[in-house]
Chain A
Amino acid sequence: MIEIKDITKTYVTGDVETPVLRGISFTIKDGEFVAIMGPSGSGKSTLMHILGALDTATSGVYFFDGKNISDLSQNELAEIRRNKIGFVFQAFNLLPRATVYRNVMLPLIYAETPLHLRDELVKKALDAANMPEDRWHHRSNQISGGQMQRVAIARALVNNPSLILADEPTGNLDTKTGEIVMGALQELNEKQGHTIVLITHEKNVAEHADRIIHIRDGLILEDGENGNKKIIRRHSQQ
């Protein structure tokens, strides 16, 4: 599914070179739920951008679904993102004035999904993200934070991507709603077999995953099974 070898990323500002990633290699198999954990400045965001095909590495190779995508152009990367990756951001990044339904449909318009297929895909994604149906036609700035994040998850799911990348998905939520969002992600992983990569700096958030990759100063500190995985049971239709 994902295979990266010796990925480095160096930012150059004027004459100053700042190495952010200094040789990272790992493999993520289909259906895995992996947390990439590290403090701020560890390079996890940069790694997330590279994994999410938003950016390319300075050196190293990146195989995604068996295809080397290390040196693609911006538009080719956009195509990968469009068809294979779903993003969940800390700040939700919904279009505030559009309805929940329209927000979830957004990736389909860039994928040019035929109109008659869209409704079913959107509804399926909203159901999968456990979004109550009576909120579907609310504007997305009229719902709670937890619901916003579930809309974002539904948006990430709608194209049936190979990989869901969640960047601090609970960062803007209180603990309780955070747990619910994590439960939704776990369910997607377990019941529907989605591959999920979670980026976080919090240990107790990372512990929802099956495997945790610790990053510090641009290098992998530790990579292994999560011994004490927290399992969230879905609270009966929140």
Chain B
Amino acid sequence: MILSDILYETYSAVTVNKARSGLTVLGIVIGIASVIAMISIGQGAQNSIQSSIQSIGSNLIMVTPGAQRGTLISSGRGSSQTLTSADADAIGKDVPNVAAVAGVASRRFQVTSPGKNTNTQVVGTTPAYLSARNVEVDNGSFFTDPQVRSMDKVAVIGPTTATDLFGDGAVPLGQTVRINKINFRVIGITKSKGGTGFTNSDDVIYVPLTTAMHFLTGSDYVNEIDVQAVDTTSLADVQQSVTDLLLQRHKISNPQLADFSTLNQADIIATATSVTGTFTILLAAIAGISLLVGGIGIMNMMLTIVTERTREIGLRKAIGATERDISLQFLAESVLLTFLGGAIGILLGWLIAFTVSKIFGTPAAVSLFSVGLAFGVSSGIGIVFGYYPAQRAAKLNPIEALRYE
């Protein structure tokens, strides 16, 4: 049989009973659609989490104070005051492959502007923070190292804070904000990073680290040191060097008793990816079960069709169809049904993913891979579940088939 004949015969066979073909296809449609939707939503969640982690900074290692253990009383993790700006300076000076180091002293304060006030995170840091945390200034400028050294009372505010304090679309350069009863002059507004995820990085006020320590937190300790490695490959090495250096500076010989902890951005991404990946697989597996049920539906229908068309098969054999011709024809029929189901399913799945992302705001990513997979799987189901019925048809004895009532 040549291809165009197979296609014509298959098309006319499938369209004979449109309602039944449609219902059978529906099983595959639901299966494929749910697989596509689940994978897309999972993938979308993964991308969203990854990009929100990435927006924190690039090649970042975060050093935070830990609880001092080994003594009788252990305070909570992150609560102790063990990291100083001297530690930050030492890291910048002694650890190779470091692109930027920024000490951070931050705390929430009630901030007021003429007529308005808000409660926000005030971050005391150095200009290195810009590169370590991927912060960009939209209007005005960030404070400089000399301004840090001279404890200038200047502030760079996030766009959300600017809106909260000065109203929509205001550019409050040169205006004054009061933090902890001290006036700060606004010299810059940062570019929006898109406040997704767990914290809104647009609702923040940056002030020079020295100013923050002297006037706001009142201590020499920092909450965090952000270290940026020059590239991804040196990330682990830098993390190790930072750990070694700080252990040495804090005179701790047992790394288990370190009074600080380091967090490597790549590790966070890897963990988040593996978590969302597991979820995606779980969802896809559940959807896959419905695909399997759809496949069994195809097989059931094909078996019915073979029985119904026994006489026709007998005739086709009598006029010279080989076993291969017959089995090919039935296989083509089931593959056409599943292929059709696959195509509609992909569209439907995409639609579901799109709707879900619109309603819940989680981005969904329909990847070419999942579409290819769905097509492959649906055609594969056609072959697997169509094979047995096709073989049954091919092996029919033409004489008995012609006599079949």
Contact = CB atoms under 8 A, between A and B. Distances in A.
A194 interface: no
6 contacts: A82-B320, A83-B320, A86-B319, A89-B402, A95-B315, A111-B320
Nearest to B2: A112
A78 B311 contact: no
Interface stretch (A102-110, A130-138, A228-236): A102-110
Interface string A156-175: 00010000000000000000
B399 A54 contact: yes
B152 interface: no
A87 B319 CA distance: 7
Given A93-B402, A97-B12, A110 B318 contact: no
Interface in B1-29: 1-2, 4-5, 9, 12, 16
B1 to A, nearest CB: 6
Given A106-B316, A110-B316, A112-B2, A49 B322 contact: no
B4 A93 contact: no
B2, B319, B322: which has the most chain A beta carbons within 10 Å? B319
Nearest to B320: A82
B1 A49 contact: no
Contacts of A74: 322-323
Given A54-B398, A98-B12, A115 B4 contact: yes
A110 B325 contact: yes
Interface of A: 49, 52, 54-55, 74-75, 78-79, 81-83, 86-87, 89, 91, 93, 95, 97-98, 106-107, 109-112, 115, 155, 159
B9 A75 contact: no
Q: How large is the interface on B (under 10, 10 to 19, 20 to 34, 35 or more residues)?
A: 20 to 34
Contacts of A98: 12
Contacts of B9: 109
B1 A112 contact: yes
A113 to B, nearest CB: 9
B312 interface: yes
A68 B151 CA distance: 110
> 9 nearest interchain CB pairs?
A82-B320, A109-B5, A93-B315, A107-B319, A110-B320, A81-B320, A78-B322, A110-B321, A75-B322
